[in-house]
Amino acid sequence: MTGARDCPLMFFFSSMNSEGVVFPREVLSQLKWGPAGGLERAEVTYLHRGAPGDEMTVIGSEITELERSFFCTSESKIPYHRIRRILLDGSVLYDSSLRKGKE
């Protein structure tokens, strides 16, 4: 059995603030620059009014920049507050519906 230190997604927990809240910007940053790497394997689903179900998904390899308030693709700039889910190899790293204080 492996310990928590052996978990390749352990960086996820280091992205939490003192209240146990994870922010999508930090998750994406850890995927890009952290020891586990993997931004290109991530899937980011975000609010996109007018799209089917008002959501769109981009693959991490389509993300060209991580800016202060938004991330960029070749087609647009998406504010971090619109991110609904971040998956890595099918595992949920961030889900806005699970944030503390949200009902």
**Taking the domains of the chain in order of start, what are their residue ranges?**
4-98
Q: What is the pLDDT of residue 18?
A: 52
Res. 11: pLDDT tops 70: no
Beta bridge mates, 83: 46
Let me know how many helices (H) and strands (E) the chain has, helices first.
Answer: 2, 7
Q: Kindly report the length of the chain.
A: 103
Q: In 10 A of CB 102, how many CB atoms?
A: 7
Q: What is the pLDDT of residue 58?
A: 97
The predicted model gives 91-101 an average pLDDT of: 81
